[in-house]
Structure 1
Amino acid sequence: MRRYLTLLLLGCSLCALAQSDASLTLTATDRTISKHIYGQFAEHLGRGIYDGFWVDKNLPVAKQDRIRLDIVAALRQIKIPNLRWPGGCFADEYHWRDGIGPRAQRPRMVNTNWGGVTEDNSFGTHEFLELSKLLGCEPYIAGNVGSGTVEEMSKWVEYLNSNSSSTVVQMRKQNGHPEPYKVTYWGVGNESWGCGGNMTPEFYADQFKRYASFAKDYPGTPLKKIASGPNADDYNWTEVCMKNIPTSMMWGLSMHYYTLPTGNWGKKGSATAFTEQEYFNTMVNCLKMEELVSKHSAIMDKYDPKKKVALVVDEWGVWTDPEPGTNPGFLFQQNSLRDALIAATTLNIFNNHSDRVKMAALAQTVNVLQALILTDKEKMLLTPTYHIFDMYKVHQDAKYLDIKLKSPDYEVGGKSIPAVNVSASQDAAGKVHISLVNLNLTKAVTISTVLKDIKWIAVKGQVLTSANITDVNTFQQPNKLQLRAFTNAKKEGDKLVATIPAKSVVTLELN
């Protein structure tokens, strides 16, 4: 028997700024929100790998080899489920054999995509898989289709997953790993419509079938092959791939979309200095993810009505202009409360489409774009976006609660968007988690909730907010934005009553 939860968001007579007349209905389902929606992305770009995960041996921080352990501990805290590597655009100029064996003998290359810096290949396949092991996450490797060969990717899979006596497997054993790594997730190219080769979808679909045919399953490791999917609203790319690639050959189809504050790739807008109108425009662009996921999913449904192929949004996040004074090719940007609202809103969208979205990756984990973590030599800070992933980890592998939401509007400049967005789940212990985002910069939302057929005796919560939407954590004030206990929720009879502050994210837990 299905259970129904009804939440009424009512006006608060005690709060002059409160919204009114919103409602939310939640319905229990058998669908699971995959933990892999909460994945991360680490490309050889700027200070993401080098001076991020992989540091100088003399840096005075705890390390295993050269892997920075305070970063590892922070990411284990939020239970990241997967890490995508080595790119990004870098993946299609990366040749894996350059990154194995004695480091002093590894060839150097120029990273032509990101800043023209010299790549010494000291962080390669074994280092990445050691990092994944320390993180307790699944490695997700993007293979080189753009400048690589079918043989090259085939041998990479064999090197990592086979336990035969072949020459390439013996090479792995000589390089210090006797047993197969058993890497399941493989991307077949990256952005093949652009930096990955400027291909047509028809040409790429044929290339995918070639590469995928020779990327073999080895005992105990069936591959989950992910096709290079569309750029944002290129629905024709999805149509061609779904039509031309048998669904039995691909586990997933990727999709990339970045929230640009201005909507303009030339001048994207500042990460830290913006008006309410600019904030509003950014959130309009963020909410476009709902349209993109819905329309791509509808195309996929035509060819895959049983939803066997995952939509993998393995690059998403806000992309602003780089911080002044930094290398523009390093894509280093600060991370404000606005970024947190973007992260929470996007994760709500993914949770609500978890029948098709089975995997995603925020771009990127450390020091690049909408990062979870920023570093400065031995210093490290957690960004507002990190705290959202900490708050939302309760939804990983929990049962999705279907949502019907009626939200008040948030109006700026004669245009409006829904002020509230939400996702909810029920974990294995029966606890219900409701994550609410209030995008309105000035008005709170009061919730008066009736929960039918759900027995609960207590509510607690967490909140992330700050005085200003432009507030950030800095190395001088690393904890200005952090999760705090949410105390404006209580049980009144059979009702849940809570007031959600302006420009905030709240997750409630009903026990």
Structure 2
Amino acid sequence: MNVQMADAEITVHTAASIDRIAPEIHGHFAEHLGRCIYGGIWHADSADGDGFREDTVSLLEDLELPVLRWPGGCFADDYHWEDGVGPQDERPRRRNLFWAQGPEELPEESNSFGSDEFLELCERIGTEPYLAANVGSGSPQEAANWVEYCNYDGDTELADRRRENGREDPYGVKYWGLGNENWGCGGQMSPEQYAREYRRYATYVGTQANLMFDHDLELIACGFEGHEWNRRFLEEINEAPWGAEFPLDHLTLHHYYGRGTNVAEADEDKYDRMLAEALEMERHIERMAGAINAVATTRDIGVIIDEWGTWHPEATADNGLEQEGTVFDALSAAAVLNIFNDNSDVVTMTNIAQTVNVLQCLVETDEDDAWARPTYRVFDLYAPHKGNEAVRTSVDTPTRDVVDGDSNDELPLVNASASVGDDGTYVTVTNLDCRSAQTVDVSLEGTDLNEDDIRGEILFAEQEPDYAVTKHNADEFTADDLAVPADGSSIEVELPPSTVAAISVE
């Protein structure tokens, strides 16, 4: 092995367990927005009962999505689920209050893709559904009815209606979000107002699990990136005079980054700023977990990031929030997935925005074809972490000062996470330096490293950060083998600028 001074050193503490990495940390999100549903997943306004895009479905199935959130997003709090069930030619055409959608970019909803179509999609691709109920303009009765329609196996009108619509057995949906961004597009509510509405909805939705089903429901409350809002919400929940003290299983927040910068027009300093903004995810997780621990002392409540990813200025409501899929976006996603692994003791699910064609999607389509984006390749590379036990990593890395107005931050140029499972130890590493290569020394405590037991892969080694995917070059973003020379005590890898690597040790 050619020994040289490493730029960064990573120590994997294989016996220092954090927690199991919930597979749901690799979750996804699909909203009735732009070409995500109509044109992306479902052939636009198809009424033949079999309108799925098989090319999209195949790509999603191959990725083994653990959970998929639907129907929004802002769309959820003006969506009435009964409009989207029953014979498709009898479903009403409604407004889409928040988004233009479909190839025609109309603010209208045909309802040709509704609950049964979404839940069939989830079964086709082997994923758990996560439904977001309408709190902003709906009612507890409407939300409870939706749960009954999806999950009850008795002889009520709603269970019979599901059967008449072609589904005999209940779907068994366990994840139920009660509202979305209710501090904003979901009703402009104060945290106290939302807490009172949430308890009302949770009463009528959650009670069903005690009597009508043989499985639990997991109730998800909407939180906010402004963390004082979360504290006030939890305190109002805590002060309720009756009932379950904390009728929620998870609390959410949304974190987008890159809104001020187009990747194609960015320089290296702007890349650094966007990456530093992405890494703020860790601070948000810590603050939300801190609020939960300070107030909800009688309940184990998980943190969900059910919308996250890059949102660049070219993605506007007028174009259905479409933006190019670049190496840079995928690099930032890898760094954030490392953060989720390192916080697996509190993070129970995340959902990148969005699945197809919108924002930092994993799949892109045109009328004829569907193809994987660079971020898809990152999720595929990180898949072995799912279900493993996350373990502590110490990362000694060079940093770079990031100045943005009056703020001054430091960008760690290398980040990493590690997990241990039945097949050994899996380590993922990013070189967040978009200018220079980084030599990284990786050691595993208590492990004698034999090159025959080590395998490495790398993404984006030959590509610039602004290199964007098209249908013609999509295969160029697949992983390559990475040389992983070892000397018994450590592995030394050379990571070109803006790359993502994975090292497996049996």
TM-score (norm 2): 0.90
Distance change in 2, residues 1:35/1:23 (3 Å) = closer
Deviation at 1:417, TM superposition (A): 1.1
Give the structure 2 partner of residue 501 of structure 1: 496
Q: 2:265 aligns with which of 258, 273, 283?
A: 273
Distance change in 2, residues 1:148/1:354 (3 Å) = same
- How many equivalent pairs are there? 483
Deviation at 1:136, TM superposition (A): 0.3
Deviation at 1:51, TM superposition (A): 0.2
Alignment gaps of 5+ in structure 2: 101-105, 238-243
Once the two structures are superposed, the pairs formed by residues 308-323 of structure 1 within 5 Å of their partners are 308-322=300-314
Hey, what's the Cα distance between the residues in 2 that align with 1:41 and 1:21? 35
Hey, what's the Cα distance between the residues in 1 that align with 2:83 and 2:449? 57
Give the structure 2 partner of residue 282 of structure 1: 274
Hey, what's the Cα distance between the residues in 2 that align with 1:125 and 1:455? 52
Give the structure 2 partner of residue 256 of structure 1: 254
Hey, what's the Cα distance between the residues in 2 that align with 1:306 and 1:354? 20
Hey, what's the Cα distance between the residues in 2 that align with 1:120 and 1:438? 45
Deviations 1:120-171 (A, max 9, x none): 1000000000000001000000000001011100110011111111111111
Hey, what's the Cα distance between the residues in 2 that align with 1:185 and 1:236? 26
Give the structure 2 partner of residue 463 of structure 1: 458
Q: Is the 8 A contact 2:14 2:446 kept in 1?
A: no
Distance change in 2, residues 1:507/1:340 (3 Å) = same
Give the structure 1 partner of residue 430 of structure 2: 437
Hey, what's the Cα distance between the residues in 1 that align with 2:46 and 2:234? 50
Give the structure 2 partner of residue 423 of structure 1: 417
Q: 2:158 aligns with which of 140, 160, 168?
A: 168
SS of the aligned residue for 2:400 comes to strand
Q: 2:476 aligns with which of 456, 469, 480?
A: 480
One-letter amino acid of the structure 2 residue matched with residue 504 of structure 1: T
Distance change in 2, residues 1:252/1:501 (3 Å) = same
One-letter amino acid of the structure 2 residue matched with residue 452 of structure 1: E
Hey, what's the Cα distance between the residues in 1 that align with 2:46 and 2:285? 45
Hey, what's the Cα distance between the residues in 2 that align with 1:480 and 1:321? 26
Q: Is the 8 A contact 1:22 1:408 kept in 2?
A: no
Distance change in 2, residues 1:23/1:181 (3 Å) = closer
Deviation at 1:48, TM superposition (A): 0.1
Once the two structures are superposed, the pairs formed by residues 39-118 of structure 1 within 5 Å of their partners are 39-56=27-44, 65-115=50-100, 116-118=106-108
Once the two structures are superposed, the pairs formed by residues 130-145 of structure 1 within 5 Å of their partners are 130-145=120-135
Q: Is the 8 A contact 1:226 1:250 kept in 2?
A: yes
Hey, what's the Cα distance between the residues in 2 that align with 1:421 and 1:330? 33
Q: Is the 8 A contact 2:14 2:445 kept in 1?
A: no
Q: 1:297 aligns with which of 281, 289, 296?
A: 289
Hey, what's the Cα distance between the residues in 2 that align with 1:494 and 1:320? 43
Deviation at 1:65, TM superposition (A): 1.3
Give the structure 2 partner of residue 491 of structure 1: 486
Deviation at 1:118, TM superposition (A): 1.9
SS of the aligned residue for 1:498 comes to strand
Q: Is the 8 A contact 2:448 2:488 kept in 1?
A: no
Q: 2:229 aligns with which of 226, 231, 237?
A: 237
Hey, what's the Cα distance between the residues in 1 that align with 2:390 and 2:159? 42
Give the structure 2 partner of residue 226 of structure 1: 220
Distance change in 2, residues 1:319/1:114 (3 Å) = same
Deviation at 1:75, TM superposition (A): 1.7
Give the structure 1 partner of residue 445 of structure 2: 452
SS of the aligned residue for 1:489 comes to coil
Distance change in 2, residues 1:23/1:506 (3 Å) = closer
Identity %: 35
Structure 1 window deviating more from structure 2 (156-165 vs 39-48): it is 156-165
Q: Is the 8 A contact 2:9 2:441 kept in 1?
A: no
Hey, what's the Cα distance between the residues in 2 that align with 1:334 and 1:420? 25
SS of the aligned residue for 1:345 comes to helix
Hey, what's the Cα distance between the residues in 1 that align with 2:477 and 2:13? 30
Deviation at 1:24, TM superposition (A): 3.1
One-letter amino acid of the structure 2 residue matched with residue 447 of structure 1: V
Q: Is the 8 A contact 2:355 2:363 kept in 1?
A: yes
SS of the aligned residue for 1:480 comes to helix
Give the structure 1 partner of residue 385 of structure 2: 395
Structure 1 window deviating more from structure 2 (489-498 vs 40-49): it is 489-498
Hey, what's the Cα distance between the residues in 2 that align with 1:136 and 1:32? 21
Deviation at 1:119, TM superposition (A): 1.0
Deviations 1:43-70 (A, max 9, x none): 00000000001015999xxx99111222
Alignment gaps of 5+ in structure 1: 1-10, 263-268
Deviations 1:398-436 (A, max 9, x none): 00111222211135669641101111101223x111000
Distance change in 2, residues 1:94/1:461 (3 Å) = same
Give the structure 1 partner of residue 103 of structure 2: none
Deviation at 1:25, TM superposition (A): 4.4
Q: Is the 8 A contact 2:78 2:134 kept in 1?
A: yes
Deviations 1:7-51 (A, max 9, x none): xxxx964xxxx8625443424316101000100000000000000
One-letter amino acid of the structure 1 residue matched with residue 360 of structure 2: Q
Q: CA RMSD in A?
A: 2.3
Distance change in 2, residues 1:70/1:483 (3 Å) = same
Q: Is the 8 A contact 1:307 1:356 kept in 2?
A: no
Deviation at 1:376, TM superposition (A): 0.8
Distance change in 2, residues 1:449/1:289 (3 Å) = closer
Give the structure 1 partner of residue 201 of structure 2: 211
Hey, what's the Cα distance between the residues in 1 that align with 2:491 and 2:263? 36
Q: Is the 8 A contact 1:247 1:308 kept in 2?
A: no
Q: Is the 8 A contact 2:21 2:389 kept in 1?
A: yes
Distance change in 2, residues 1:333/1:72 (3 Å) = same
SS of the aligned residue for 2:474 comes to coil
Deviation at 1:222, TM superposition (A): 1.1
SS of the aligned residue for 1:378 comes to coil
One-letter amino acid of the structure 1 residue matched with residue 247 of structure 2: M
Q: Is the 8 A contact 2:9 2:442 kept in 1?
A: no
Q: Is the 8 A contact 2:18 2:342 kept in 1?
A: no
One-letter amino acid of the structure 2 residue matched with residue 461 of structure 1: G
Distance change in 2, residues 1:64/1:123 (3 Å) = closer
Distance change in 2, residues 1:190/1:261 (3 Å) = closer
SS of the aligned residue for 1:112 comes to coil
Q: Is the 8 A contact 2:11 2:394 kept in 1?
A: yes
**Residue 360, structure 1, aligned to residue 330, structure 2:** no
One-letter amino acid of the structure 2 residue matched with residue 252 of structure 1: H
